[in-house]
Amino acid sequence: MMHKYQHIYDKLLPQGTFRNVLAKYGVHIASNALVNSMQEGTEEGVQYLNSLQDYASKYGYDGMSWGDLIMNDIKQGGRVTEAYASLFGLNNSQLYDDTEFWNNVKGGFALGGGHSGLIQLAGNTASGIREYNTN
């Protein structure tokens, strides 16, 4: 598909240093933002699932032990992963139709990508300009 519009792409971003620097830092920023979005979305999904449980009756008012916390988050993370897979038709998840769950996940996804993308952009701009000016 790229070959059909290659002449437009070449006019917008001519061959050379600018294109290489933009590709290098752009891919880096986009990949980090995507990974952070997925992590933050998953975390918000786990927090939503945890909010539905009554921990006081199960563990007392002193709370859970570290081991219980870790095992609970692994279990809830598995449920969120199943929900992600159900979006692609890979399995059936009880959370597939839970709009409140998906609103939490989408909010975490947006904030995770937005914050990390802006921070990466701010942090890499100076390096990109320096690299462009050196070459």
The per-residue pLDDT for range 25-40, each reduced to its tens digit, is 777 778 888 888 889 9
Domain that holds residue 20: 2-134
| Average pLDDT estimate for 10-24 | 67
How many domains is the chain partitioned into structurally?
1
Predicted model pTM: 0.68
pLDDT in tens, 74-119: 888 899 999 999 988 898 888 999 999 999 999 999 988 888 777 8
pLDDT of 17: 62
Closest listed residue to residue 25, CA positions, set 134, 120, 119: 120
